[in-house]
Chains A and B, each alone.
Chain A
Amino acid sequence: MKISLQWINDYVDLSDIAPEELAHELTMRTVEVEDIRYQELAYDKVVVGKIMEILPHPQADKLLITIVDVGEAEPYRIVCGGCNLYEGQRVVVALPGSYVRWHGQGEPVLIKKTKLRGEPSCGMICASEELELDELFPASREAEIMDLKDFDFPAGMPISEALQLNDVILEIDNKSLTNRPDLWGHYGIARELSVIFQRNLMPVADFVLDSSLEDNEHSLPVTIESPKRCSRYAGLVFSGLDSRPAPHWMRVRLAAAGITPHNALIDITNYVMMTTGCPTHGFDRRFVNKELIIREARKGETLELLDDTFLQLTAEDLVICDTSEPMALAGVKGGKKDSLHDDTTEMVLEVAVFDPLSIRHTAQRFNVRTEASTRYEKGIDTQRVDISIALACQLLVQLFPEAQLLGYQDAVATTTSQAKIDVSLAALSKSLGRKVDYKQVSTLLFALGFTVQRVDEDILNVVAPSWRSTGDVSLFCDIVEEVARIIGYENFDFIPPTVTLEKAIKQDGFDLERRVREYLAFRCDFREIFTYPWTADDLIAAAGVEAEIELAQPPAPDQSRLRPSLVPGLIGNVRGNLRFQDEIKVFEMAQIFLSGETSPSDPAEIFPVQKLNLAGAIAADEDQGLYIFREVKGLIAQLPDYAGSEQLTFQNISPPVWADKDVWLNIIGQGESIGSLGLLSSKVKNAVGIKRTQVAVFELDMTKLTPQPTRGHEYRPLPHYPLVEEDFAMIVEEKVTWEQVREIVEPMVKELTYVEEYRGSQIPAGKKSLLFHVLLGSDEGTLSSDQIAGKRGAIVKQLSKKLGAELRQ
């Protein structure tokens, strides 16, 4: 919202305080001021000029040469393409050094001395849009320059002074206002400033309504048929009006506040709203048939809008009707027929309060947001109608001396009840962390419009003002906030909290998550990534997984499904990173979503299954397939030792959909399959376009890893006698597995280590050479060479007997 400081100064005199200070104090205590704009800065070196002479341009038909008095000793020669120039005309001249917006668009451009089609030109005669004044001085056709014919300004007068464009505008963050319906007008902000700076606050208006006019023969009967949705409705009938423009000062203020000026009548309705925060609406009296009824619309009723469109109304919409039909969508938008027209001479002025939720629903249903609906949906107190009527009447009389209030009717369904709160000074002091007394609290609250009555030494009866009683203030903590913010949060000293030591924090689950991440990152050389929970359809399809949980309004049409597995996202990541590097190691730990029903926290909530998963991938050269598979297998096998969880083993139980049919394993923890690893199948790689690369992938269910309560290492005594290293190269059939070899050899040695498999020209077809390494030794003494040879021979013999292995020569 834009706040004009001149407007504020009507109600509280702050003219001696710098705008920066006002903005700072408002920001600290009330609402955030996002920007301070000095109007006149935009009009530096822009002055009133008087055209003395107009000459044809020798080179161009559409340009003219003007001789303009700009208040200096010599007149300026300015080339201009304006279509409405005449000698003696008062115009706006942007002198060299000023900035204008070319045709009202783009960034401001610096005006310099120049030549136009060969003719020197010093400055520019401006159209209103070039100075962002088109709201105040709308142009009726293209190339029309701004004509100051209605003003008698001397040449050379700065335009900011001439047109009163010397206001300072505070731009307030609307988000910080959502809970303060009282601040949606200048008067509310003026009140806050009067409290902060301890200044006197003037009344909104001193007009006194003549009560003898109420319900007289000129007034229209007002009936509220939906008292829950309209708490108060006043209809005032005025005569002696016309469509004259509002005075310049009012037009300038409205424009500064972001409201386009129209004519005096419409401008007054807006001016009242921008002052008190209570919207008002004018109907042309001629078209209001007999009475005003506030009711729910009937099925089939329509409302024609100013832009000639029709709204189809339903019973959910609150409308203002006369005897025959709806005239306006209450609190949101007026209809075309009954609105104020150029030939309006009598007006029915609506000053009313509608229910916030009702307004909000209607505005949402028709997808319209107006200044009025924005204010109504925050909640306006019924009492505000009175000051709004007073201000409206005062302005009407001021702008239309011949205007007359003929009569009015004021229907009140309910009155906003003021919130009553008992406040204990002791409790207040405790909450604030600082002692406050009756005098300080009552003074401060009184200035904000609260009334305070002292019950005893400690207890105060506090009554909130009506404008704070529509949901904003209702509890003790609201009073804490009022007192604290006006004292100023920066004025409270830090109080160190006291500590009770109970026991050390032990959260095994979180510790395990962290150790797993650190193990993968720091031991295994993986990079942690994050991908979105919504996953692209093509990746889900490629990975072959089923995704059943969907978003109602996805970020993109092909990203509606939430991941049932981390693998699709991982595949997408690998594909992306392969553009820049050949070898990739990435992992992600995040939640996955599966269909099902769970209630982990509140029995009222039924969620799909949500689990924390861990997944990773290694991408490498085509010939590295088995190696990276083994790398993944190794890191899973070792994970429990490094990260501190129960042991994991491997089995073939059910193949993961994304894996090659021969290269996969399930990960077994505590007797059940908790995940898988494997090489991506050619089909998956083809589907996503990964070429000449092997990708080893693993995924497991983190919730199935059981953390060990403490470090799980085991100590083995060091050998008393030296161990002997021996290497074996055994030629075996392809079908012989390492597992078979291990079962035979392991019991015969102190330690057994797999080295590699080898296939090559020296190895017969259908066979492979298996290399392994053993440590031999005895607990009784150092082995002799005969003993070593004996043990070696026994190993070869056993392998040969049971697996048909031969020692490679």
Chain B
Amino acid sequence: MLQKLENIEQEAMRALVNIQSEEELQKLSQQYLGKNGELTQVLKGLGQLEPDDRRNVGQMANKVKTSLSEQIDNKRISLSDSAPVLDFPPDLTAPGISPKSGGLHPITQMSYDLNDAFHSLGFVIFSEDEITSELFAFDNLNFPPDHPARETMDTFWIKGTEDKRGADRLCLRPHLTGASVRFLRKYGAPARFVYPGRVYRNESTDARHERAFFQYEALIVEKDFPFASGHLLIDTILEKIFGRKVNTRMRAGFFPFVEPGFEIDMECQVCGGDGCRVCKNVGWIEVMPGGTPHPNVLKEAGLDPEEWSGFYINIGLDRLVMMRYGVDDVRLFHSGDLRFLSQFR
């Protein structure tokens, strides 16, 4: 009998080794430990044995039962731990599932990036309405009446006011600069502020020209602010847009509302300054005007030009965003075409 028990144990252990699944394990458990299992049968038959044998066989059978149960439990844990999480062979080259694809307009994205940078320098944000008057678009900004410079900005006048003058002649703003006077009148100086927004010019459109486009203007008004400090504004903008330091140069330029006035050029990002088709072989690209606010503008803003000076810059956001991403048609920004917009995540 003892021999039989030994055989049962050995047989069960051998079978256990080859078991691969929970089902087989269950079957094995039934086979030996179940109600009619082999080991159970032995234990059930103990009563028919001689008392001495009964004791020996009983001890042995219990030992085998305990051991076998333990082994089966261990096997069960090990089978469970090594169970695969998928019940089929997975194709891991299948593409990932995209997150939601909504997003901000690329101009808004850049504008917010710039706001964050200027916030960190202590600049506040300002905005004015899109319809303004000749008073703020030109008169306050030291554009002499009928000066040719007014004509370089073909303005959309509002019907019914086009033949009037000054505050009564309304237009879609041709630039943002008028807002600087509004801000300074309201909040005074010293001042550090940016005023991003959309401006409008009545000209014909092509891949490089739009009737509606975005500008980003920044102005510091301080006492005794040397123009050489204005580089801070220029570098902040260009580094934010291009992600790295961009070489710039300031050169003589004329804008009625600044004196001295600059054209600010940046090194061509296509050729790195060597000269190419994009920069017309000069290595530099004109990116923004800048300068010290003209005394007449400061006067209109209610400030004493003897006391206050500062620095102003204005960039065409569309153009820089185009350069940043290599967009070849400015009209795409107002196209509303989701095939274009969805590229900017």
Contact = CB atoms under 8 A, between A and B. Distances in A.
Contact of B105 (A525, A530, A580): A530
Contacts of A549: 131, 158-159
A480 B258 CA distance: 12
Contacts of B73: none
B324 interface: no
A489 B136 CA distance: 30
Nearest to B190: A500
A605 B100 contact: no
Given A431-B226, A495-B226, A602 B338 contact: no
A531 interface: yes
B253 A176 contact: yes
B220 interface: yes
B228 A492 contact: yes
Given A378-B148, A602-B167, A527 B260 contact: no
B231 A494 contact: yes
Contacts of B227: 431-433, 484, 492
Interface in A529-563: 529-533, 549-555, 560, 562
Contact of B129 (A30, A360, A600): A600
A480 B131 contact: no
Contact of B259 (A377, A478, A500): A478
Given A178-B254, A533-B130, A521 B226 contact: no
A602 B129 contact: no
B124 A593 contact: no
B102 interface: yes
Interface in A581-638: 581, 584-586, 590-591, 593, 600-602, 604-608, 610
Interface stretch (A135-143, A223-231, A510-518, A735-743): A510-518
Interface in A460-519: 471, 475-478, 480-481, 484-485, 489-490, 492-497, 499-501, 505, 507, 510, 514, 517-518
A505 to B, nearest CB: 5
A481 B136 CA distance: 25
Contacts of B147: 178
A163 B128 CA distance: 60
B342 A527 contact: yes
Contacts, number: 237
Interface string A371-388: 000000110000000000
B326 interface: no
A433 B226 contact: yes
B6 to A, nearest CB: 53
Contacts of B129: 591, 600, 607, 610
A477 B309 CA distance: 10
A496 B229 contact: yes
Interface string A620-659: 0000000000000000000000000000000000000000
Contacts of B135: 602, 604-605
B146 interface: yes
A88 interface: no
Contacts of B108: 517, 528
B341 A525 contact: no
Contacts of A357: 145-146
Residue with the greatest number of chain B CB neighbours at <10 A, chosen from A518, A524, A555: A555
Interface size class of B (residues with CB under 8 A): 35 or more
Interface stretch (B30-38, B47-55, B60-68, B244-252): B244-252
Contact of A433 (B228, B280, B338): B228
B182 to A, nearest CB: 5
A530 B107 contact: yes
B261 A526 contact: no
A696 interface: no
B245 to A, nearest CB: 13
Contacts of B159: 549-552, 560
A295 interface: no
Most buried by B among A432, A480, A518, A551: A551
B124 A533 contact: no
A576 interface: yes
B208 interface: no
Contacts of A31: 252
A524 B337 contact: no
B334 A510 contact: no
Contacts of B168: 606
Contacts of B124: 505, 507
Nearest to A549: B158
A485 B166 CA distance: 33
Interface stretch (B18-26, B88-96, B149-157, B266-274): B149-157
B254 A180 contact: yes
A552 B134 CA distance: 14
A477 B295 contact: yes
B260 A484 contact: yes
B259 A477 contact: yes
Contact of A522 (B100, B122, B185, B341): B100
Nearest to B145: A357
Contact of B336 (A521, A586, A601, A605): A586
Contacts of B212: 530, 532-533
Given A480-B259, A553-B157, A560-B159, A28 B252 contact: yes
Contacts of B336: 529-531, 572-573, 576-577, 586
A501 B338 contact: no
A520 interface: yes
A378 B147 CA distance: 8
Contacts of A608: 131, 158, 170
Contacts of B292: 431, 477, 480
Contacts of A377: 148
B128 A525 contact: no
A525 B103 CA distance: 7
A183 to B, nearest CB: 11
B119 interface: yes
B216 interface: no
Nearest to A524: B102
A35 interface: yes
Given A478-B259, A576-B337, A577-B337, A497 B229 contact: yes
Nearest to A569: B336
A713 interface: no
A430 interface: yes
Contact of A577 (B104, B294, B338): B338
A520 B101 CA distance: 11
A6 interface: no
A551 B229 contact: no
A30 B128 CA distance: 34
B338 A610 contact: no
Contacts of B334: 530-532
A584 B123 CA distance: 37
A573 B337 CA distance: 8
Interface string B199-234: 010100000000110000000101011111101100
A27 B228 contact: no
A478 B170 CA distance: 31
A605 B309 CA distance: 27
Contacts of A500: 190
Contact of A32 (B226, B263, B305): B263
Contact of B309 (A28, A431, A481, A520): A431
Contacts of A243: none
B104 A518 contact: yes
Given A524-B102, A586-B338, A602-B136, 20 more contacts: A27-B251, A178-B147, A357-B145, A360-B148, A432-B227, A432-B228, A433-B228, A477-B295, A489-B251, A489-B262, A494-B229, A497-B225, A521-B103, A522-B102, A527-B101, A527-B103, A528-B341, A554-B156, A580-B339, A605-B136
22 contacts: A32-B286, A432-B228, A433-B227, A433-B228, A481-B260, A481-B261, A489-B250, A495-B229, A497-B220, A499-B122, A527-B101, A527-B103, A528-B104, A530-B198, A530-B212, A549-B131, A550-B158, A551-B157, A604-B167, A606-B167, A607-B129, A610-B129
Going nearest first, the 6 A-B pairs with the smallest beta carbon separation are A433-B226, A481-B260, A604-B167, A525-B102, A552-B162, A550-B159
